[in-house]
Amino acid sequence: MPDSIHTERKSFKASFKLGVLASGVDFMKNIVVILPTYNEKENIGDMIEVLENDIFPRINNHEMSILVVDDNSPDGTKEVVKEKMNKYKNLDLSVGEKEGLGKAFNRGIDCAMSKMNADAVIKMDADFQHDPKYIFDLVKKYSEGYKYIIGTRFSSGGRFPKELGLYRRILSKYGGLLTRIILFSPHINIVTDVSSGLKLVDVEEVLKKVDFHSISSGFYYTTQLLYQAVIIGIKVAEIPIEFGIRKKGKTKMPFSNAPGTLKAMIKLRLNRNKLKKRLEELNKET
Q: Which of residues 40-79 bind ligand GTP (CB under 6 A)?
A: 40, 69-71
> Per rule CB under 6 A, is residue 203 in the interface with ligand GTP?
no
What's the min distance (Å) between Cβ of 151 and ligand GTP? 13
What's the min distance (Å) between Cβ of 3 and Mg ion? 34
Site string for Mg ion, 191-230 (x = CB under 5 A): ----------------------------------------
> Per rule CB under 5 A, is residue 246 in the interface with Mg ion?
yes
> Which one of the spans 35-43, 113-121, 175-183, 256-264 is the region binding ligand GTP (CB under 6 A)?
35-43
> Which one of the spans 24-32, 110-118, 199-207, 249-257 is the region binding ligand GTP (CB under 6 A)?
249-257
> Per rule CB under 5 A, is residue 129 in the interface with Mg ion?
yes
Closest to ligand GTP by CB, 192 or 195: 195
Burial of 240 (0-12, 13-18, 19+ CB in 10 A): middle
> Per rule CB under 6 A, is residue 129 in the interface with ligand GTP?
yes
Q: What angle do CA 255, 173, 44 make, to 5 degrees?
A: 60
Instruction: Kindly tell me which residue out of 9, 98, 173, 247 binds ligand GTP, with binding defined by CB under 6 A.
Output: 98
> Per rule CB under 6 A, is residue 251 in the interface with ligand GTP?
yes
Instruction: Kindly tell me which residue out of 127, 137, 202, 205 binds Mg ion, with binding defined by CB under 5 A.
Output: 127
Nearest residue to 134 via CA among 64, 198, 187, 228: 198
Identify what 98 binds: ligand GTP, Mg ion, none; CB under 5 to 8 Å per kind: ligand GTP
Site string for Mg ion, 106-125 (x = CB under 5 A): -------------------x
Instruction: Kindly tell me which residue out of 127, 137, 205, 238 binds ligand GTP, with binding defined by CB under 6 A.
Output: 127
Q: Which residues contact ligand GTP (rule: CB under 6 A)?
A: 36-38, 40, 69-71, 98, 100-101, 104, 125-127, 129, 164, 197, 246, 251-253
